[in-house]
A and B are shown apart, each in its own frame.
Chain A
Amino acid sequence: MRVAVVGAGPAGIRAVETLVAAGLRPAWIEESPDGGGRIAQRPPGAFRRDARALYGADAPRARALHATLDGLKPQLDWRPGTLVWNLDPRTRRLELIQAGRRGTLDYDRIILATGAMDRVVPLPGWTLPGVTTLGGAQVALKAQGVAVGARPVFIGTGPLLWLTALQYARAGAPPPLILDTTPLLTKRAGLPMLLHDPALALRGLGLRLALLRHAPIHEDVTPIAIEGAGHVQAIRWRDAAWREHVTACDAVAMGWGLKPETQLADLAEIPFAFDPIQRAHLPVRDAAGRSPVPGHYLAGDGARVAGAKVAEWTGARAALALLEDAGLPFDAGQAGWLEARLQGQARARAALERAFPYPARLAARLPDDTMLCRCEGVTAGQVRASAAPDLNRAKALTRLGMGRCQGRVCGLAGAEILAAQLGVPVARVGRLRGQMPVKPIPMDAL
C-alpha cells in the first residue's frame, strides 16, 4: 500500500509518526524547506536563536515536534521543498514540483495536512508595499529574525494579534501599536474556554496582561484605510467612541485569525459544507478525519482551523483511521482517547471563534473603490455591481479569484460583500472553486 502525507506541520508529524509506528513508510511531502509548520517554523540552518526565544511558551511543543520530525525523516521518503500542484482522486496521482523539476507520486491512501493561512480583510490601501499579514510578521521574526518595520501597526483580532505583538516586544523589536477590531464585550464569549481548555484560556489572559506592559491595545477599532505614497505611511482608524485617528507607521500587519488551505481537498473532489462557526465552506470529514472520498483523509488546520494541539490529535486520529480502513492493526484505545479530546476541544474552539469573530460587517461594508482581488484588480464595487447570484458567477463576470492566488486571499471577503449586496446569508453565495495548479508553476517545467 502506497501512503502519502502532504504537510509536515503538527498534524502531518503526528500522522506520519503513527503510520511509521505501524510499520508503514509513507511518502511525506512538505512545501517548505523544512517541517514544523508555521507554529514551529524553523529558521534557516545558519541562524542561531534558541527555541525559548523563538517560540516562547510553545517552545516545549516545538522542540517535541522537531525531535519527532527529525527522527522520522530517515525512515521514509521525505520530500521537503516540494509543492503538490495537482491531485487526481480517480488516478490517485499527485503532480509535484521541486526546485523547478516536475515529478509524480502515486498513492493508494493519502492524508492531507495542508495547514492554514492568514484570514484577512482587504482594507483600502492594503496593497501598498509595507502591508503584510500577522502570520507574515511572525514568520519574518521566527525565520529571519527581522521585524516588518521600525514603527509597525498590527491590526486584526485573535490570539495571533496578541502573540505576535508580544513576540516582537520580547525580541527587542519596537512594540507595535495594536488595533483590535473586536469589542471587549464580545471577547467575553471566550469565557467558556476557562471550562473547556483552562490552560489555553489562562495562557491567553496571561498573554494579554503581559502585552499591556509593552504596548497599548485599542479595542473595538474600525479601520478606515491604510495610507501612503508608494509605501505605508499611516493608518486611519476610528476608536470605540468613533473618534478618527491617523497613526503614522511604516508597516502594517493584519490578520483576523486563520483560514484552512483547502485547495487540495477541493481538487480531491471532497464535498464542502458551510461551517457557521468559522463562516466558511470547509471540506467534509467524519470525527476520525475520513473524507467521503475513499482513501482520502483530512487533518489539522487545513481541514478546519483549531490550533496546533488539535492538529496533532487530528493528525494521529486520521492516521489511525487510515490503518483501520486498510485492515491493519491500530490502537482503538488511542483512537477513542483522541476523539474524546477532540470533542472537548471543539467546545473550546467555538468559544474562541465567538470571542474573536471574523469582522463580516467590516468586509461587507468596504467602500466600492477598495481593491478586493489584488491579483486581477477587482474592486468591491465591481463585485457588487456584477449582480451575480453566487460567488462563482461573480468570478466569471468580474475575474474575482481568477488570478495567482485563485481567491485564497480575497474569497472570504468577496463572499461577505456579495452576500450583503444580495441580502442573503453568506452560506448561500457558495465558495470559489479551485483549479490546478494549486500555486503557479513555470511554463517550462514539463
Chain B
Amino acid sequence: MRAADVLILGGGGAGTAAALFLARAGQRVILLERGLIGGQASGVNHGGVRQQGRTAAELPLAMRARALWGQMRALVGTDAEFDPCGHLRLARTPDGEAKLVAWAALAAGYGLKPRLMGGNAIRSAYPLGESVIAGSLLAEDGTANPRLLAPAFAAAARAAGAALLEDQSVAELHHDGARFRLRANGAPFAAPILLNTAGFWGGRIAESFGEPVPVVAIQPNMQVTEPLPHMLGPNLGVADGTLYLRQIARGNVIFGGGRGIAWADATRTRPAVAAGDATRALVMELLPWLRGAMIIRNWTGTDGEMPDGQPVLGPSLTRPGLFHAFGFSGHGFALGPAVGQVLAELVVQGRTDVDLAPFAINRFNQDGNGAISG
C-alpha cells in the first residue's frame, strides 16, 4: 500500500497547484489523474487570466491568483505564456453597459481601477464593430496558454517530491475511520487528507461522502483562426458572457462561446457545429475585420458548472479531512494557482484568509445552513 499525507484526485490546475504547494510545505503528496494532467477543463479552455467581471465572492481569489501569475516563472520555471495584455469587456446593450459600470463600482472597493469607455472612445482605440456601445479595460489582466499551466505545476510538484500519476482508474474510495483509502488501477492508496479537485466528476466524489451537489458537465466550444496580422492587444470578453476572444503572439485568434457535445459520462467530447456558427456570427459583428479569416481548428473538453456559477471550495461538511475544489463553471483556469494555494493552507494551517462561505458545498441544500443563491 502507498501511504501519503495527502491524496489528490484530479490533475487540473487546482490539483497540480495544490500538489506543488503541499510538497513544498513538506507534505507527502500523491495525485491521481484519470486521464492526462491538464487534459480536461484546465487544458482546453480559453486561457483568460482575468479579475474583471468576477463576483464579489470570487474577486479575492482572482486577485490572489493574479499575484501568483505575476510570479509564475519563479514559482514553476515557466510563465505558461502569461501576457498581462489587459482584459477588455464589451457591452452591446444598455444592460451590458450597466454591468460594466456596476462592476467598476465593486472593483473600486478592492482597489482595482477599470477604465470605462464609451462607444466612440472604445471604437477609436480598438478595431471593433458598430454594435459595441461601451467597454471597460482592466489593464493588469491578461492571458496565458492553458495547455502549459497544469503540466508546469505538475513538473514543479514532482521536482518538489510529489508523486503525480496519470491514467489512473480510481475505485473503492472510502474513509476507514482513520484514513481515506482507495484503489488506483488496482493498487491500494491511503492518506488522512483527501483533496477533491476532479472538475465535473468532483460531484461524484462529494456525493460518495454524502454531499450531493447540483453540478453539471459543460463543454466550452473553442475555435481558432489561422495566424493573422496583429490587430488586437487585450483579451476580449462580452458583458453577457456569450463570447471571449484573444489574439496570441503568433497571430492566431482564439475564441469561444456556446457549448460542445459530450458523451460517455462527459469523458468524451467534441465541438458543436451550431454553437460554433452562432459564436462566429457574433465575432464578425464585434470584429468585422475577422470576416475573411479561416477557421483551422475547433476543440472542447469538460468542466463542471454550478447553478450559481461559483465553485465548491472548502472543507467537506460530512467528512473531516476532505476538501473540495470543483465546479469552476467555465472560468476557473486563472484561479487554479490560487485555489491550490488555498487548499494547501487549509491542509497545513487549517485556515485561509479567503472567505470560503460563498463556496460552501451545502449552499444548495434546503436544510443546509448556507444561503441559496443562483
Contacts and interface: CB of A to CB of B under 8 A. Distances in A.
B94 interface: no
A436 to B, nearest CB: 5
A60 interface: no
A403 B147 contact: no
B36 A393 contact: yes
A88 B270 CA distance: 9
Nearest to B281: A446
Contact of B299 (A86, A377, A397, A435): A435
A435 B297 contact: yes
B339 to A, nearest CB: 21
Interface string B269-294: 01101000100110110000011111
Nearest to B43: A396
B297 A444 contact: no
Contacts of A440: 226, 294-296
Interface in B4-54: 36, 38, 43
A402 interface: yes
A97 B8 CA distance: 46
Contacts of B280: 443-444, 446
B293 A442 contact: yes
A245 interface: no
A94 B151 CA distance: 36
Interface string A221-263: 0000000000000000000000000000000000000000000
Contacts of B299: 435
B279 to A, nearest CB: 10
Most central of B147, B292, B299 by chain A CB within 10 Å: B147
Contacts of B147: 396-397
A402 B297 CA distance: 8
A443 B283 contact: yes
B225 A443 contact: yes
A441 B151 contact: no
Nearest to A389: B166
Contacts of B38: 396
Most central of A396, A403, A442, A446 by chain B CB within 10 Å: A396
A61 B146 CA distance: 52
A403 B271 CA distance: 17
Q: Interface size class for chain B?
A: 20 to 34
A341 interface: no
A444 B284 contact: yes
A393 B151 CA distance: 10
A437 interface: yes
A441 B270 CA distance: 17
A90 B270 CA distance: 11
A442 B295 contact: yes
Contacts of B250: 376-377
A446 B291 CA distance: 11
B290 A443 contact: yes
A446 B293 contact: no
B12 to A, nearest CB: 13
A101 interface: no
A397 B151 contact: yes
Nearest to A95: B273
A365 interface: no
Interface in B216-274: 224-226, 250, 263, 270-271, 273
B352 interface: no
A435 to B, nearest CB: 5
A443 B297 CA distance: 11
Contacts of A444: 280, 284, 291-292
B294 A442 contact: yes
Contact of A397 (B148, B296, B298): B148
B126 to A, nearest CB: 18
A361 interface: no
Interface in B313-370: none
B281 A442 contact: no
A73 interface: no
Contacts of A403: 226, 296
Nearest to A440: B294
A444 B299 CA distance: 19
A444 B263 CA distance: 29
Contacts of A375: 296
B296 to A, nearest CB: 5
A406 interface: yes
Given A376-B250, A396-B147, A442-B293, A436 B298 contact: yes
A443 B293 contact: yes
Interface string A429-443: 000000111001111
A392 B244 CA distance: 25
A353 to B, nearest CB: 31
A49 interface: no
B291 A441 contact: no
A295 B101 CA distance: 55
Contacts of B263: 90
B295 to A, nearest CB: 5
Contacts of B291: 443-444
A375 B252 CA distance: 11
Nearest to B263: A90
A34 to B, nearest CB: 24
A111 B39 CA distance: 32
Given A95-B273, A446-B281, A396 B295 contact: no
B252 to A, nearest CB: 9
Most central of A377, A403, A406 by chain B CB within 10 Å: A403
B296 A404 contact: yes
A251 B6 CA distance: 61
Contact of B292 (A86, A392, A442): A442
B151 to A, nearest CB: 6
Contact of A436 (B36, B271, B290): B271
A435 B273 CA distance: 12
A34 B245 CA distance: 39
Nearest to B223: A443
A446 B277 contact: yes
Contacts of B292: 442-444
Contacts of A441: 294-295
Given A393-B36, A443-B284, A444-B284, A437 B295 contact: yes
A267 B270 CA distance: 9
Given A440-B296, A444-B292, A86 B273 contact: yes
Interface in A32-81: none
Given A404-B294, A406-B297, 6 more contacts: A88-B270, A392-B36, A402-B224, A436-B297, A446-B277, A446-B281
19 contacts: A86-B273, A88-B273, A375-B296, A396-B147, A402-B224, A404-B296, A435-B271, A436-B298, A437-B296, A437-B298, A442-B292, A442-B295, A443-B225, A443-B280, A443-B284, A443-B290, A444-B280, A444-B291, A446-B280
The 4 closest A-B pairs by CB, nearest first: A440-B294, A396-B147, A443-B293, A440-B296
Interface of A: 86, 88, 90, 95, 267, 375-377, 392-393, 396-397, 402-404, 406, 435-437, 440-444, 446
